[in-house]
Chains A and B, each alone.
Chain A
Amino acid sequence: MSRPAPSPHLLRYRTLNTARRGPWFGSVAIARSSLQLLAGRKMFWTLYIFSLLIFLLYFFGQYLQVFLEQRVSESLVRTGGVFGRTIRPDFFVNMLRDTLRMNGTADTYGDFMWTEGYIVMVLLAFAGSAIVGNDFRFNSLPFYLSKPIGRRHYLVGKALAIAVLVNAMTTIPGLCLYVEYGFIDTWEYYKNSTRLLFGILAYGAALTITLTLLLLVTATWLRRTVPLIMVWTAAFVMSRLVQRWLVDGLGLSPRWRLLDIWNDMYLFGQWCFGTNHLLLRPGNQIQPEYREATAVIVVVCLVCVWYLSRRVRAVEVVQ
């Protein structure tokens, strides 16, 4: 430090009360810095590009389905060297509409958010330690908690960062698809499909709240990336395999599918979309009732809140 000592008046700022906002503004600052931190990692952008590819598949898939259905009247279309030089448009229409369900229905948005959710899940597993775990692992909390915020504001800030991630990859693209389909179909679509709009928002909210709470819990508990990924994988992948083995393999009650929290969120989403329970896909799997899946999500969220409230109090203990 070779420079001359600066003037002692350098830090004479204006009156404190007029210069600053309340502690909730601090939560936004925490969320922002967490996202900045994540944005500096290549892993984040790699997974985000994957998520974007899924969105683009649905975006152009919907457009293609409507285009082929309405504009292409020929039974065969020449495609040069691709697909044996000619294709049948009705084959693609059927595939897009009936198999991939890219037709602006509850299945479109449900399937899209389900698929995006997998990328979100992997992203959160990697991001958990960076966003939350490291603060506990390296004992960085004093930096936050000595500032004019409380523990509540800290957790809300972190939750906000996770919520932004989840919504940026599920709800917002889902809404984009909804808006797009209205444009390529008719304006009547918006009028007749308000339930779908509600479904997108409600399914997005369920994903956001549940994943945020689960990530906060696992990240504050495990702190390091590798154990976090292992537990996260067990929670979302192993539980799926186990429920399938129990119900489809051993023939136990479909209620065992409730072990799969990912499936529970999907069922809740379909409930919000207004899908008939009997028409749930795949048709060969009997699913538990919507209300049962919802109850499981609520219980999981309550347990997470209970753990976090205990955890927040435990921060007091000087280690």
Chain B
Amino acid sequence: MKDDGQPVLLFEQVSKWYGPVIGLNQVTLELRRGITGLVGANGSGKSTLLRLATGQLKPTLGRVTVRGVDAWEWRAKALVGYCPDNDAFYEDMPGREFVAAMARLCGFEKAEALRRTEAVLERVGMADRADRKIGGYSKGMRQRIKLAQALLNDPQMLVLDEPLSGIDPIGRQEMLELFRGLAAEGKCLLVSSHELEELEKLTDHVAILTRGRIAAVGTVTQIRDMLDDQPLSVRIDVHDPRRLATLLVNRLEVVGVELEPKVLANGTHESLIVRARNPRRFFEDFGKLVVSEELDVARLEPLDDTAHAVLGYLLGGSGKT
């Protein structure tokens, strides 16, 4: 897929009001190829953002474009695939018929619609089960059918709202593989999910939404680095933790040093927990320190640079979404 330097999805100072309630507040967002996770608490504006991105809503202010075309236009929608959260289908319709109907809705001739239907059903692993009525499908099968209809138009951008919900662990792995494959083809995937652990397996590039605003966009590490007011906690397993604590405590980046509460049988501490600002500089300095002081470091483990922790800091809570 060509990349002409133009972003696939572009939000320019977008606001969306529902009467007196603001759903999205001056959001600017630029997405290119690859997978981006969209995270945020309930009511943070995720659904509004996804609906604006898929052209289902018009922004009150600002502009949303897909490859330079207004997202509201049908030409832009032709570049987008959307897998919604809800799975309210025509229960009496077989899955294959539903996907074929959606293909016709995309504007494809009958033969082409049938060809694409078979291709996408094969790709999501539903080809052999698609003749059953949707009413008899499990949650996971419904997810696959939803994904199939989103892939029909070979979209440049795929918007997935809770795509892993209800899928068993093996199915999840298959779905994650499928998403990675689509990203490898050069597609732009915007994945909204409350399941941060699964999302982290898929991508480390996230957009965090809170109260209708984009709080941060980037890799989890980049976002974590920017959180100066929330020092990074690092656990260091070292032969002599007390000596290391003495060496670290004078460093500018280090704001706290704590000996691990767990005490070994011989009375010594096993490890040290360091809280440091500006993690990148800290790790550079720490590397030099280890070499110069010939420290015997067994393990180095950042404790709060996961998406969950980052989200917790940004949302000011537990990070639960």
Q: Which residues of A contact B (CB under 8 A)?
A: 1, 3, 5-6, 8, 10-13, 16, 19-23, 25-26, 29-30, 32-33, 36-37, 40-41, 134, 138-150, 316-318
> Would you give 30 A-B contacts (Cβ < 8 Å), ordered by A?
A1-B170, A8-B185, A10-B123, A11-B119, A11-B120, A12-B154, A19-B112, A20-B106, A20-B108, A20-B153, A21-B107, A21-B108, A21-B109, A22-B107, A23-B74, A26-B105, A29-B101, A33-B104, A36-B97, A40-B92, A41-B92, A138-B86, A139-B86, A140-B86, A140-B88, A142-B82, A143-B84, A147-B102, A148-B105, A317-B18
CB-based contact A318/B18 at 8 Å: yes
Q: Given the complex, which residues of B lie within 8 Å of A32, measured CB to CB?
A: 101, 104
Please tell me if the beta carbons of A13 and B107 are within 8 angstroms of each other in the complex. Answer: no
Which chain B residues numbered 48 to 85 have a C-beta less than 8 Å away from chain A?
48, 51, 54-58, 72, 74-75, 77-82, 84
Which chain A positions have C-beta within 8 A of B177?
Answer: 5
Interface pair B171/A30, CB less than 8 Å apart: no
The one of B92, B119, B120 in contact with A37, judged by C-beta atoms closer than 8 angstroms, is: B92
B92 to chain A: closest residue by CB: A40
Shortest Cβ gap from A177 to chain B (Å): 34
In the complex, the answer to whether A8 meets B89 with C-beta atoms within 8 Å is no
Query: Which residues of chain B (85-144) have a CB below 8 Å from chain A?
Result: 86, 88-90, 92-93, 97, 101-102, 104-109, 112, 116, 119-120, 122-123, 125
Does A8 contact B90, Cβ atoms closer than 8 Å? no
Decide yes or no whether B236 CB sits under 8 A from chain A: no
Report chain B residues within 8 Å CB of A12. Answer: 154
B151 located at the interface, meaning its Cβ lies under 8 Å from any Cβ of chain A in the complex: yes
CA distance A148 to B54 in the complex (A): 10
Q: Smallest CB–CB gap between A163 and chain B, Å?
A: 19
Q: Give bound CA distance, A11 to B152, whole Å.
A: 8
Which residues of chain A are within 8 angstroms of B55 by Cβ–Cβ distance? 145-146
Q: What chain A residues lie within 8 Å of B278 (beta carbons)? A: none
CA separation between A13 and B115, bound complex, in Å? 10
Closest 6 pairs between A and B when the two form their complex, measured CB to CB: A138-B88, A20-B107, A1-B125, A146-B82, A29-B104, A33-B101
Most buried by A among B89, B106, B109: B106
Q: Tell whether B47 is near chain A: CB-to-CB under 8 Å.
A: yes
By the criterion CB–CB under 8 Å, are A142 and B154 in contact?
Answer: no
If A146-B55, A148-B75, A149-B74 touch, whether A16 touches B47 (CB-CB below 8 Å) is no
Smallest CB gap from A3: residue in B: B125
How many contacting A-B pairs (Cβ < 8 A)?
134
Is there a chain A Cβ closer than 8 Å to B210's Cβ? no
Q: Most chain-B CB neighbours within 10 Å: which of A1, A6, A12, A145?
A: A1
CA of A145 to CA of B171, assembled, Å: 28
Decide: A146 and B84 in contact? CB cutoff 8 A. Answer: yes
A146 near B23: Cβ-Cβ < 8 Å:
no
A1, A30, A140: the one within 8 Å of B105 (CB): A30
B: residues with CB less than 8 A from A are 18, 23, 47-48, 51, 54-58, 72, 74-75, 77-82, 84, 86, 88-90, 92-93, 97, 101-102, 104-109, 112, 116, 119-120, 122-123, 125, 149-151, 153-154, 159, 170-171, 174, 177-178, 181-182, 184-185
Q: What residues of B have a CB within 8 angstroms of the CB of A20 in the complex?
A: 78, 106-108, 153
| Residues of chain A with a CB closer than 8 A to B185's CB | 8, 11
Contact A16 B79 (CB under 8 A): yes
Complex Cα gap A318–B84 (Å): 13
**Chain A residues with CB under 8 A of B116:** 13
Alpha-carbon distance between A317 and B125 when the two chains are bound, in angstroms: 34
A29:B105 contact, CB within 8 angstroms: yes
Provide the bound-state CA to CA distance between A317 and B19, in Å.
9
Contact B102 A143 (CB under 8 A): yes
Whether A16 pairs with B48 at a CB distance below 8 angstroms is no
Residue of A nearest to B100 (CB): A33
Q: A29-B105, A142-B56 are in contact. List 17 more A-B contacts (CB 8 A).
A: A1-B170, A6-B122, A11-B185, A16-B78, A20-B78, A33-B101, A36-B101, A134-B90, A139-B88, A142-B54, A144-B105, A145-B55, A146-B56, A146-B81, A149-B77, A317-B18, A318-B18
A8 touches B184 (CB 8 A): yes
Q: Are B174 and A23 in contact (CB under 8 A)?
A: no
Q: How distant is the Cα of A21 from the Cα of B104 in the complex, in angstroms?
A: 10
- Closest A residue to B107 by beta carbon equals A20
Q: How far is the CB of A230 from chain B (nearest CB, A)?
A: 24
Chain B residues within an 8 Å CB radius of A19? 107-108, 112
* Measured CA separation A36–B54 after assembly (Å): 27
For the complex formed, measure the closest distance between the CB of B151 and the CB atoms of chain A, giving whole angstroms: 6
Could you tell me the distance in whole angstroms from the C-beta of A131 to the nearest C-beta in chain B?
A: 11
Task: Return chain A residues, CB-CB under 8 Å to B154.
Answer: 11-13, 16
Q: Inside 8 A of A5's CB, which chain B residues have their CB?
A: 174, 177-178, 181
Which residues of chain B come closer than 8 Å to A22, judged between CB atoms?
74, 107
The complex places the Cα of A11 from the Cα of B89 at a distance, in Å, of: 24
Distance of A142 Cα from B105 Cα, bound (Å)? 13
A37 to B98, CA, bound (A): 10
Query: Is the Cβ of A148 less than 8 Å from the Cβ of B92?
Result: no
Is A25 in contact with B107, judged by CB distance below 8 angstroms? yes
A143: which of B109, B120, B149 is its contact (CB, 8 Å)?
A: B149
Cα distance, A36 to B123, chains bound together (Å): 26
Contact A148 B86 (CB under 8 A): no
B106: A residues at CB distance < 8 A: 20, 26, 147-148
> Do A10 and B122 form a contact, CB below 8 Å, given A23-B74, A26-B107, A142-B86?
yes
Which residue of chain B is the closest to A40 with respect to CB atoms?
B92
> How far is B88's CA from A66's CA once the two chains are assembled, in angstroms?
55
In the assembled complex, which residues on chain A have CB atoms less than 8 Å from the CB atom of B178? Answer: 5
Pair A150/B119 contact, Cβ less than 8 Å: no
- Bound-state CA distance A8–B58 (Å) is 34
